[in-house]
Every structure is written in C-alpha cells, then in structure tokens.
Amino acid sequence: MEAGLTERSDEKGEEEYVLLDLDAVMEHVSIRPDTPYVLTGLDTLNPMLIIDGKVKLIGEYEETIGTCLVFSENEAPVLHKETGPSDANLFSGRCIVDPNQVPSKEVKPVARLQKVLKFRLLLDGVDDAQQDHPSTEGNASNQSTATQN
C-alpha cells in the first residue's frame, strides 16, 4: 500500500496532487460527471474553473491538517472459497459469488496531498485576468475518494 502513495519525481519535477472541493457550489449548480471543464491558474493564489463554458468558479488553496489520502474506487464482487471437503460438493476448487451479499468496493490508494482547492461561484463584474494562465482541460468524471489522517 505504501508504494502506491510515494511521491514521484522525474526530470520535469515532482508531481503535486490537489483536491478540488466543490461542496459550496453543488447546492447552486448541478454538474454531470461527463461535463467538460477548463482549469486555469493553478500556479496562482486563486485558480479558476470554468464548467461547460458557462459556470465560472474561483478557488482558494487551504492547507490540510495532516495528510489527505486519495483512493480510487471500483465495484468488486465478494468471492467465497469452498469451506471444506464434501462428497456432494458440485463447486469443488472454484470460487462462488454469494447472491445475497451486496457487492463490495475495491479501494486502491492513488496519492497523498497537502492542499485542498475550495471553489465558490465567481460573481459578475470580477476581473477575469487570470484566464491568461495555462489551463488543464478534462471532464468531471475523473472522481476519487479522499480521507484525511
């Protein structure tokens, strides 16, 4: 588990992970998982996030207390091995799925992070000069689960 959480460095420099916190925005705006977005100004104090070319958000970095651990989550069925020998056992040497048990989630560590980027709606009339910064584009389906130690 520890190996998946180590910081990576290469010729270009170290990777740094930041959690994008949209909790303050979600009560005002509905964002689908596949909605396109543009993230600009990550190297500034107040990065901007533009969702679907319509919704503008401004962010502010906050240091975490301790280290946040980020995990990916996948569906994984629960498998049960054969419990003992039986003359009438039709499933000898095989794993079976318990149909009465709810499927579990497979959780894998992705990264550690020290910063959270909290976003809020950008009010009209605020200077948009930060859009000159390099941007990161993607869609909102890149989801992870984070816990804090």
pLDDT value, residue 75? 81
Adjacent-strand bridge partners of 96 = 80
Q: Are 73 and 107 in contact (CB under 8 A)?
A: yes
pLDDT value, residue 66? 86
d(CA 61, CA 21): 10
pLDDT value, residue 41? 94
Q: Are 46 and 59 in contact (CB under 8 A)?
A: yes
Adjacent-strand bridge partners of 74 = 106
For residue 136, the SS3 value is: strand
Residue 15 has pLDDT above 90, yes or no: no
Residue 117 has pLDDT above 70, yes or no: yes
Q: Are 23 and 120 in contact (CB under 8 A)?
A: no
Amino acid type, 28: H
Q: What is the mean pLDDT of residues 124-129?
A: 51
Query: Could you tell me the pLDDT band of residue 45, with boundaries at 50, 70 and 90?
Result: very high
Give the pLDDT confidence of 63-109 residue by residue, as tens digits: 888 888 888 888 876 555 555 555 555 555 565 666 676 667 888 99
Whole-model pTM: value is 0.55
Distances, alpha carbon 133 to alpha carbons 46, 73, 117, in Å: 11, 32, 17
CA-only gyration radius of the chain, Å: 22
Residue 118 has pLDDT above 70, yes or no: yes
Adjacent-strand bridge partners of 80 = 96
Structural domain spans, the chain: 2-148
For residue 73, the SS3 value is: strand
d(CA 38, CA 21): 15
